[in-house]
């Protein structure tokens, strides 16, 4: 599944366009690599998502669109830390 779509369906972001913007500026990484919106998300991938005030690290539990639409558990939270507002997270 595309990264931007996964972020939307897993409810990590509210809109797909916001997900695309976050990915474009480098606020989302898969397995420690900067990627594009079209990058493929697979079960077991580690995602890092930087929001304005926090950075979360998650493990993808399912990338199946049908399961995500049925509110299946999408990810496991591995780490959450505060982000310095004056610096870019990476």
pLDDT value of residue 90: 61
Segments making up each domain of the chain, as ranges: 3-82
CATH topology of domain 3-82: 3.10.290
43-50: long-range contacts, CB 8 A cutoff, minimum separation 24: 46/78, 47/75, 48/90, 49/7, 49/12, 49/22, 50/22, 50/83, 50/88, 50/89, 50/90
Per-residue pLDDT tens over the stretch 61-78: 999 999 999 999 999 999
- Average of pLDDT values for 10-18? 96
Task: Please tell me the pTM assigned to this model.
Answer: 0.90
pLDDT attached to residue 84 = 77
* Closest CA relative to residue 90, chosen from 25, 44, 14: 25
Confidence of residue 89 (pLDDT cuts 50, 70, 90): low
**Per-residue model confidence as pLDDT tens digits over 15-73:** 999 999 999 999 999 999 999 999 999 999 999 999 988 999 999 999 999 999 999 99
């Amino acid at each position: 599944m595309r990264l931007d779509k996964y972020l939307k369906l897993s409810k990590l972001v509210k809109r797909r366009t916001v997900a695309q913007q976050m990915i474009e500026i480098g606020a989302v990484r898969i397995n420690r690599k900067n990627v594009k919106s079209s990058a493929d998300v697979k079960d077991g991938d580690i995602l890092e998502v930087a929001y304005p005030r926090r950075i979360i690290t998650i493990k993808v539990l399912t990338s199946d669109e049908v399961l995500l639409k049925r509110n299946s558990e999408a990810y496991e939270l591995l780490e959450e830390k505060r982000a310095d507002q004056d610096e870019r997270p990476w």
